[in-house]
Structure 1
Amino acid sequence: MKIFVTDQKGDQHELEGLDGWRVMEVIRDWGLDIKAECGGAATCATCHVYVDEAWLDRLPPPSHEEEDLLYTAPDAQPNSRLSCQILLSDELDGLRVTLADSAAKDAEAA
């Protein structure tokens, strides 16, 4: 399945992922600029993405823990999510996200 990722520079990337993988893992493994310090444990918010508005309703709602972490992200928006908390499935084939500036490897910690 494919996901479409816009990086911090505005370049678009079409990435191939597998069912059950975290969106963060796909982005990281394809070498895009994502810090993802905790490796998917939902303890840091350094895999922050903006989900395309057309896809928001297709995702399960964020957990309280995810909401708390997003609150600490300096550039959070209403469509912000942690990419480690989005699991790929057939229903998400074609998902579109944009990497937040705060997710870049050289971004300052919040």
Structure 2
Amino acid sequence: MPCITYLHPDGRRDEIAVDAGTTVMRAAVGNGIEGIVGECGGQAMCATCHVYIDSDIELPRACEDEEEMLECTAAERLANSRLGCQLRAGEHFDALVVRLPERQV
């Protein structure tokens, strides 16, 4: 079963086993993880599921819509910034560590 680890700005960690096909955003929202909002429901239209990838795995490139939304993040966009709604467990990764930004809105 794929696993996602969420690193909070205050140092807390949440590790969640998820079903294949679950996005980083859906796993967070469904499990009450603070720090991911997911206002648009996973359509890459709001950037409120912005995360920083802390794993050394090769993920697929961000699509044009995701790149556009990453320009609108509330917290600073970094080289490892991605939208959690675009990353699917079991399809893009089996284990992933993401760092949550200080704010989403």
Instruction: Give TM-score, length-normalised by structure 1.
Output: 0.85
Specify the code of the residue in structure 2 equivalent to 1:72.
Answer: C
Specify the code of the residue in structure 1 equivalent to 2:37.
Answer: K
For residues 27 and 80 of structure 2, what CA distance do their matches in structure 1 show? 20
Residue of structure 2 equivalent to 1:47: 49
Aligned length: 102
Equivalence map 1:7-26=2 (5 Å): 7-26=8-27
* RMSD between superposed Cα atoms in Å: 1.5
Cα distance change on mapping 1:81 and 1:91 into 2, 3 Å: closer
Structure 1 gaps of 5+ residues are 104-108
- Maintained 8 Å contact 1:7/1:32: no
Deviating above 3 A after TM superposition, structure 1's stretches of 4 or more consecutive aligned residues are none
Cα distance change on mapping 1:16 and 1:53 into 2, 3 Å: closer
Give the secondary-structure state (helix, strand or coil) at the position aligned to 1:67. Answer: helix
Q: Shift in Å at residue 35 of structure 1?
A: 1.2
Cα distance change on mapping 1:53 and 1:22 into 2, 3 Å: closer
How many percent of aligned residue pairs carry the same amino acid? 35
Residue of structure 2 equivalent to 1:102: 103
Cα distance change on mapping 1:35 and 1:61 into 2, 3 Å: same
- 1:66-95 Cα offsets, whole Å, 9 max, x none, are 011101114110000000000111661221
For residues 45 and 91 of structure 2, what CA distance do their matches in structure 1 show? 27
Structure 2 gaps of 5+ residues are none
For residues 102 and 64 of structure 1, what CA distance do their matches in structure 2 show? 23
Instruction: Give TM-score, length-normalised by structure 2.
Output: 0.88
Cα distance change on mapping 1:14 and 1:44 into 2, 3 Å: same
